[in-house]
Amino acid sequence: MSKKHLVIVGNGMAPGRMLEHLFEVTDAYDVTIFNAEPRVNYDRIMLSPVLSGEKTYADIIIHGEGWYEEHGITLHQGEKITEIHRNERKVLSEAGREVAYDKLVIATGSNPFIIPLPGHDLPGVLAYRDLDDTGAMIDASDKGGRAVVIGGGLLGLEAAAGLKQRGMEVTVIHLMPTLMERQLDTAAGYLLQRELEGRGIEVLCEANTKQILGKDRVEGVELADGRVIDASLVVMAVGIRPNVQLAQEAGLEINRGIVTDATMKTSDPNIYSVGECVEVGGLVYGLVAPLYRMAKVAADHLAGASEMAFAHAETPTKLKVTGCDLYSVGDFAEGDGREDIVLRDAMRGTYKRVILKDNKIIGAVLYGDVADGGWYNELLKSGEDISEMRETLIFGQAYQGGAGADPLAAVANLADDAEICGCNGITKGTIMAAIQAKGLTTLADVRAHTKASASCGTCTGLVENVMALTLGDAFQLPASEGMCPCTPHSHGHVRRLIKAKGLKSIPAVMQALEWTTPEGCAKCRPALNYYLVADWPGVYVDDQQSRFINERVHANIQKDGTYSVVPRMFGGITTPDELRAIADVADKYEIPTVKVTGGQRIDLLGVKKEDLIPVWADLNAAGMISGAAYAKGLRTVKTCVGSDWCRFGTQDSTGLGIKLEHYLWGAWTPAKLKLAVSGCPRNCAESTCKDIGIVCVDSGYEVLYGGAAGLHIQGTTKLGTVPSEEDVIEVVGALTQYYRETGFYLERIYKWADRLGYDHIREVILDDLDQRKAYNARFAYAQSFAQVDPWAEFVSGKDAHEFNPINIRKLEAAE
């Protein structure tokens, strides 16, 4: 019986592997391969080491010429198939060759996706897909200069690392906020970015490419925000598209890829498909492991009747960049009933996260320490119930010591001279000896006697473990004093460490301080955002999604979901024009309630969210800005009429109030900040129950602070008396800044002062002139970034998504 004829379109890794399997079980076929690339089958996964110079083309060949001869395969290199005639079971090549088949396998792979930007067809713009691309990149890198890589996914980063290793300057442009967002969570993406930046690769996230510049060849890249980056090479690595053209023209069923059943058969029973061009079970694949499984299934079915079926399995992702260890597998998105176990080690820069559902592992993300990746993947695949080893799961396989593994084992196994507290150089032995010799039972005692965990405090957990080990049952872990359940660190610790370690983003804080959740909660995120805003003016970019709604949309949400709008009236002074504009707005937008507030301004209540922007535009046009009546920040400066009108007034309290409000507006503070200026001790502006109050007297100005008139009622305490308005402004600026730098989020100024001590605050802010000037200077510097009217920004189009529904459906009236 003559052999059947098998024709394969494409000569990549999947059909290569398929043939290996096929030849193992049968020699029933004569095989002909058409390959558009003029090469034998090579390992595409290894293109990155070729680019970086760690390997050569010869190293990555899978099937040499000899292999094709040995198996009697006819290989047409560099010859594309242009048509499939399914009725006649024939293929036609571009060279005019006609070949008949009994079975056909389409393995056309995928094409790199090229964003059709202006300039994308200039010489010097490359994809990163095959050996030709790699060769072109190597040639370009010999000339030096800067390469811009568009796309911060797996391929893009491998290209970037390789080009850097070849001596080019490299910038990565990535549309999303974190790198490799499909394989990594935010925390691991941050660590990866830090590692790449440490190697001198510039990483620009949330950057949108507008066009590629150049006349005869590429000269640079322009971003949507106007930035221009010079470049002699641009690599686009933004994704791949299954190459379905040939199959489509042949009339096979196509969706995202060539649709096959679980036996890899297409809609034509004589045609199979394998590789990146395939869509099976509704999914397309780009990693090699599932492609090899497709190859095995297809080979089995080509060989004869078979039960084998392709089944989806999670495939781990690894980055092939030497020294960047990351591993991710499975599902690490959020969802109900899912639990995270997170272990961060700030010293070693590692991050481990295992995602559980119903006591089974459904995903893992590892950075820095990937040794246990395979083990977690095994547990994921087997679906084993992990409740027995839950306590120690995150430490890895080495800590699974059979039944009832001890969570303290890691600490117990440390030698006595192992350092526990890095800041103070305190060893495990020293702590244990002190506990025993002095009968210490609390963390505070241990801190006092040994200094362990008394500085930065990151080792607190370790010290507690040593205590538990030494004291046994006598030691009870203290209730957490952490700022929220995401961290054992208190607000004070967090604030100190942000400065001490130079942490400038929320992910940086969460990693360095070993947060136990992937992305924090509604308690810690707003607090961290405030601390970073206050500590790094002009550097930190406010994270809107970590702000409460009122601060995000600069209006106060009301119980029915509408908003209230309060324009600023400096010092409580307004004009007929402003009042007319407010009245017009109230009429035009049918605002149901107009109320005079306790802070001497006017509140428009019941504004619909979609009306906010037009309301602000109208108020802006009349010269008014946001009154920040929603802010953990400066609210109002209330005044009396003072010496301008009042027969008792000693100074111009109204004028001073206006000056203060002009100086302070826009400032973010730990909690809301309300001021008042009274023109005489009769105190008509109620200065003595404000956060900061000024009372004018004949000889000057009394500066008071720490009042409260809410749930808690408390009179102010006097900071001191100063002679001039300039002094008042300087002292208030310094006091506000000291509060901004040391206050805990949501801590009003009176609580802050109780905690720090009124005497201490007076020494720093009033008595020590140098410190006063330094604090005030820092405040003025921060204000240079903070005094931007948020209403005007929104009116000019910023964050428009906040204010409009994405979609409105009008329902047809039902019959």
Partner 1 sequence: MNVQAKTWVSIGPLTEIPRQGARCVKNGDMSIAVFRTSQDQVFALEDKCPHKNGPLSQGIVHDGCVTCPLHNWVISLETGAAQGADVGQTATFEIKIKDGIVLLAL
359: closest CA among 339, 376, 377?
A: 339
Quote the CA–CA distance of 312 and 314 in Å, as a whole number. 7
Closest distance of CB 766 from partner 1, Å: 39
Q: Tell me if 526 contacts partner 1 by CB under 8 A.
A: yes
d(CA 170, CA 149): 7
Give least dist CB 809 to partner 1, A. 5
The whole-angstrom separation of Cα 402 and Cα 389 is 9
* Closest CB 545 distance from partner 1, rounded Å: 4
Tell me how crowded residue 810 is: count the other CB atoms within 10 A of its CB.
5
Contacts of 775 (CB under 8 A, 6+ apart): 733, 734, 735, 737, 738, 741, 764, 765
Q: Which of 548, 618, 718, 756 binds partner 1 (CB under 8 A)?
A: 548
Residues of span 614-653 touching partner 1 by CB under 8 A: none
Q: Which is nearer to partner 1, 518 or 706 (CB)?
A: 518
Nearest approach, Cβ of residue 312 and partner 1 (Å): 17
Contact flag: residue 518 with partner 1 (CB under 8 A): yes
Binders of partner 1 in range 528-547 (CB under 8 A): 544-547
Find the binder of partner 1 among 521, 579, 583, 621 (CB under 8 A): 521
Strands 283-284 and 350-357: unpaired
Name which position in 437, 479, 713, 806 contacts partner 1 (CB under 8 A): 806
CB 690 within 8 A of CB 716: yes
What sign for the dihedral angle of Cα 330, 334, 336, 341? positive
The answer to whether residue 711 forms part of the interface with partner 1 (CB under 8 A) is no
3-class secondary structure, 572: helix
Among the listed residues 479, 522, 596, 713, the single contact to partner 1 using CB under 8 A: 522
Core vs surface per residue 753-786: b (16+ CB within 10 A) or e: beeeeeeebbebbbeeeeebeebbebbeebbeeb
Could you give the C-alpha distances from 767 to 324, 639, 703, 724, 759, in angstroms and in order? 53, 27, 13, 16, 10
815 touching partner 1, by CB under 8 A? no
Question: Is residue 634 within 8 Å of residue 670, measured between CB atoms?
Answer: no
Q: Does 357 bind partner 1 (CB under 8 A)?
A: no
Q: Which is nearer to partner 1, 173 or 624 (CB)?
A: 173
For position 480 contacting partner 1 by CB under 8 A, the verdict is no
Shortest distance, position 37 Cβ to partner 1, whole Å: 29
Q: Among 100, 283, 333, 583, indicate the residue that binds partner 1 (CB under 8 A).
A: 333
Compute the residue count for the chain.
815
Of the pair 286, 681, the CB lying nearest partner 1 is at 286
524 is in an annotated binding site: no
Among 323, 404, 561, 797, binds partner 1 (CB under 8 A): 561
Query: Measured from the CB of residue 302, what is the shortest distance to partner 1 in angstroms?
Result: 33
Please tell me whether residue 810 binds partner 1 under the rule CB under 8 A: yes
Interatomic CA distance for residues 525 and 527, integer angstroms: 5
Residue of 519, 603, 661, 789 interacting with partner 1 (CB under 8 A): 519
Nearer to partner 1, 174 or 772 (CB): 174
Instruction: List, in sequence order, every beta strand (DSSP E) within 679-767.
Output: 692-697, 700-705, 708-709, 713-714, 717-722
Closest distance of CB 729 from partner 1, Å: 35
Considering the rule CB under 8 A, would residue 808 count as an interface residue with partner 1?
A: yes
Asked if 185 and 355 count as a contact pair (C-beta separation under 8 A), the reply is: no
Alpha-helix residue ranges (DSSP H) falling in 589-683? 612-621, 642-645, 653-664
- Cβ-based nearer residue to partner 1, 87 or 807: 807
Q: Does 330 interact with partner 1 (rule: CB under 8 A)?
A: no
| Alpha helix (H) residue ranges in 589-724 | 612-621, 642-645, 653-664
521 is an annotated ligand-binding site residue: no
Looking at the Cβ atoms of 335 and 402, the one nearer to partner 1 is 335
Spatial CA neighbour of 133 closest among 90, 175, 162 = 162
Question: According to the annotation, is 640 in a ligand binding site?
Answer: yes
Q: Candidates 87-95, 321-329, 518-526, 757-765 — which segment interacts with partner 1 by CB under 8 A? A: 518-526
248 part of the interface to partner 1, by CB under 8 A:
no
* Per CB under 8 A, 332 contacts partner 1: yes
Interface with partner 1 includes 460 (CB under 8 A)? no
The window from 302-310, 318-326, 383-391, 802-810 that contacts partner 1 (CB under 8 A) reads: 802-810
Least distance to partner 1 from the beta carbon of 548, Å?
Answer: 6
Report the site for partner 1 in 167-206 (rule: CB under 8 A): 177, 181, 185-186
Number of residues lying near partner 1 (CB under 8 A): 41
CB of 551 to partner 1, least distance (A): 11
Q: Write down the least CB distance from residue 617 to partner 1, Å.
A: 21
SS3 annotation, 87-130:
CCCEEEECCCCEEECCEEEECCCEEECCCCCCCCCCCCEEECCC
Locus of tokens 């329902």? 811
328 backbone dihedrals φ, ψ, rounded to 5°: -145, 145
Question: Is residue 58 close enough to count as binding partner 1 by CB under 8 A?
Answer: no
* Cβ 747 to partner 1 shortest distance, Å: 18
User: Per CB under 8 A, which region of 64-72, 457-465, 515-523, 598-606 contacts partner 1?
Assistant: 515-523
- Are residues 78 and 48 in contact, defined by beta-carbon separation less than 8 angstroms? no
Nearer to partner 1, 187 or 604 (CB): 187
Should residue 805 be labelled a site residue for partner 1 when binding is judged by CB under 8 A? yes
Is residue 336 at the binding interface for partner 1, with CB under 8 A as the rule? Answer: yes
| Contact between 338 and partner 1 per CB under 8 A | yes
- Binding status of residue 559 toward partner 1 by CB under 8 A: yes
Least spacing, CB of residue 172 vs partner 1, in Å:
19
**Least CB distance from residue 562 to partner 1, whole Å?**
10
Amino acid sitting at position 752: W
Residue 730 main-chain phi, psi, to 5 deg = -65, -45
Whichever of 114 and 709 has its CB closer to partner 1, that residue is: 114
Compute the least distance from the CB of residue 125 to partner 1, in Å. Answer: 23
The reply on whether position 279 binds partner 1 by CB under 8 A is no
Tell me the β-bridge partners of 47. none
Amino acid at 757: G
Q: Does residue 517 belong to the site contacting partner 1 (CB under 8 A)?
A: yes
Q: How far is CA 675 from CA 181, 725, 766, in A?
A: 45, 15, 18
Residue 100's nearest CA partner among 77, 74, 63 is 74
Q: Where are the alpha helices (DSSP H) in 427-575?
A: 428-438, 443-450, 460-471, 491-500, 506-512, 524-535, 549-553
680 annotated as ligand-binding: yes
Binding range to partner 1, per CB under 8 A, among 283-291, 551-559, 600-608, 701-709? 551-559
CB burial class (10 A; 0-12, 13-18, 19+) of residue 401?
exposed
Among the candidate windows 50-58, 216-224, 258-266, 336-344, which touches partner 1 by CB under 8 A? 336-344
Is residue 121 exposed (0-12), middle (13-18) or buried (19+ Cβ within 10 Å)? exposed
Compute the least distance from the CB of residue 177 to partner 1, in Å: 6
Instruction: Establish if 549 lies at the interface with partner 1 (CB under 8 A).
Output: yes
Cross-strand pairs, 228? 222
Residue positions forming the annotated binding site for [4Fe-4S] cluster: 640, 646, 680, 684
Residue positions forming the annotated binding site for siroheme: 684
Under the rule (CB under 8 A), what is the footprint of partner 1? Answer: 177, 181, 185-186, 332-338, 340, 517-522, 525-526, 544-550, 552-553, 557, 559-561, 801, 805-811
Residue positions forming the annotated binding site: 640, 646, 680, 684
